């Protein structure tokens, strides 16, 4: 049984979908959890309530991942309310659909700011607070490794960058006993990619298991990597995609 009692976690994008499942799963295992959100005020309040119903402390922080100042302030708030941090989970991200030929440069920049720069800045702000046994876990995508259809190139690029981020940062933080890992979901049933959406059957057909993942299944991978049971695992990628890139 994984026991995270006494651990303090910060999850980005915890108001909905995979991030919300991660925040709730960490709390279920005993962690106090701060999480960021952008627009979903009511959903964030509902997630905070669920965390508190487990007897854990919850801190919902409105912070746009595109804004470096908001990121620094979010980390400061999480640290001051929880009294420190042991686990960072970078989950907030946005999607992007369209070809390179039709690329809008501002949309591209927003994608890179939120999906790539923000995880880097969250890590930079959290590192001074992490001690021995600290964890940095980032949510990438199986599309970062295999791009099975056109129209998702910039999104796939943004997720591929997280592999090198994870590997490089594991080298920097290994001497401090801090592990850094990447979880790559495949199609997972959330607002961003509903299991009854137009492209859902096609995505299912790419998998070995013939189905979507549930947010909770991705959270299970994160909980494992956050736990002492994963102490030797760092710089690694754990793909949780039902076999889509097998």
Q: Which residues make up the interface to ligand NDP (CB under 6 A)?
A: 13-19, 36-40, 43, 64-66, 91-94, 114, 139, 141, 185, 187-188, 190-193
Which helix (H) or strand (E) is 139 found in, with range?
Answer: strand 135-139
Q: Is 212 considered catalytic here?
A: no
Q: Which is nearer to ligand NDP, 86 or 189 (CB)?
A: 189
**Which is it for the CA torsion 242, 210, 188, 141, positive or negative?**
positive
Question: Out of 37, 108, 155, 212, which one is annotated catalytic?
Answer: 155
Which helix (H) or strand (E) is 32 found in, with range?
Answer: strand 32-37
In the complex, residue closest to ligand NDP by CB:
17
DSSP letter for 214, please. Answer: P
Cβ-based neighbours of 111, under 8 Å, separated by 6 or more? 94, 96, 154, 155, 158
Please report how close the Cβ of residue 163 comes to ligand NDP at its closest, in angstroms: 13
Please report how close the Cβ of residue 43 comes to ligand NDP at its closest, in angstroms: 6
Cβ-based neighbours of 53, under 8 Å, separated by 6 or more? none
Sort 208 into a burial class: Cβ within 10 Å, 0-12 / 13-18 / 19+: exposed
Please report how close the Cβ of residue 69 comes to ligand NDP at its closest, in angstroms: 13
Cα–Cα distance, 163 to 140 (Å, whole number)? 8
Q: Which is nearer to ligand NDP, 43 or 133 (CB)?
A: 43
Q: Which is nearer to ligand NDP, 54 or 146 (CB)?
A: 146
CA angle 171, 29, 176 (to 5 degrees): 20
CA angle 177, 87, 132 (to 5 degrees): 20
Please report how close the Cβ of residue 56 comes to ligand NDP at its closest, in angstroms: 19
Q: Which is nearer to ligand NDP, 56 or 96 (CB)?
A: 96
Q: Which is nearer to ligand NDP, 104 or 191 (CB)?
A: 191
Please report how close the Cβ of residue 116 comes to ligand NDP at its closest, in angstroms: 11
**Positions marked active-site:** 155
């Amino acid at each position: 049984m994984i026991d995270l009692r006494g651990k303090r976690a910060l999850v980005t994008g915890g108001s909905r979908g995979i991030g919300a499942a991660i925040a709730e799963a960490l709390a279920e295992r005993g962690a106090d959890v701060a999480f960021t959100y952008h627009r979903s005020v009511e959903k964030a309040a509902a997630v905070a309530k669920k965390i508190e119903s487990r007897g854990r402390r919850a801190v919902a922080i409105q912070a746009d991942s595109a804004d470096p100042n908001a990121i620094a302030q979010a980390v400061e708030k999480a640290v001051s309310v929880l009294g420190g941090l042991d686990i960072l989970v970078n989950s907030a991200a946005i999607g992007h659909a369209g070809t390179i030929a039709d690329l809008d440069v501002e949309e591209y920049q927003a994608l890179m700011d939120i999906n790539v720069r923000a995880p880097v800045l969250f890590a930079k702000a959290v590192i001074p607070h992490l001690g021995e046994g600290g964890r940095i876990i980032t949510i990438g995508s199986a599309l970062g490794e295999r791009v099975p259809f056109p129209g998702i190139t910039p999104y796939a690029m943004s997720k591929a960058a997280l592999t090198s981020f994870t590997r490089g940062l594991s080298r920097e933080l290994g001497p401090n006993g801090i592990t850094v890992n990447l979880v790559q979901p495949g199609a997972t049933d959330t607002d961003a990619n509903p299991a009854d959406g137009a492209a859902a059957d096609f995505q299912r057909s790419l998998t070995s298991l013939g189905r979507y993942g549930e947010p909770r299944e991705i959270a299970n991978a994160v909980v494992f990597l956050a736990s002492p049971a994963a102490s030797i695992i760092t710089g690694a990628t754990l793909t949780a995609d039902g076999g889509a890139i097998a």
